[in-house]
Amino acid sequence: MTDLTALSYTAEHEWIAFDGDVATVGITDYAAEKLGDVVFVELPSVGTSVTAGDTCGEIESTKSVGELYAPLTGEVVEINDAVVDDPSSVNAGAFDAWLVKIRIDGSPTGDLLDRDAYVALTGGDA
């Protein structure tokens, strides 16, 4: 089980785990629940440069289509092919079904939230 207090979060309902200059990114349980049954995930290609706040992918469910935003600026160094092949894995365990790994440019910047701030943002759900 992932230590949820060790993660950073975004207001767009993404979680981020840092390992040196590589950030692993996924969506939260809250986002997965709001989306409903995830049926399609489109992720950026390895080697793609992403800019914090810009759209870098798409998550489609039976209810709606949601955009995936880059929480940090950097280069995509890995994508989770297992999630692309089986999008429902996001619903089965959003904190285990990471989406992309980004080698960040410099120090993390932007509007990252800690666990308490994210829980407050969602009204108690994460």
SS3 (DSSP) at 93: coil
CA neighbor of 71 nearest in space, from 119, 32, 37, 104:
104
Q: For the segment 17-56, what is each residue's pLDDT rounded down to a tens digit?
A: 999 999 999 999 999 999 999 999 999 999 999 999 999 9
Domains and CATH numbers, the chain: 4-105 (2.40.50.100)
pLDDT classification of 126: cutoffs 50, 70, 90 = low
SS3 (DSSP) at 28: coil
Q: For the segment 58-96, what is each residue's pLDDT rounded down to a tens digit?
A: 999 998 898 999 999 999 999 999 999 999 999 999 989
pTM, 2 dp? 0.91
Give the model's pLDDT for residue 1: 46
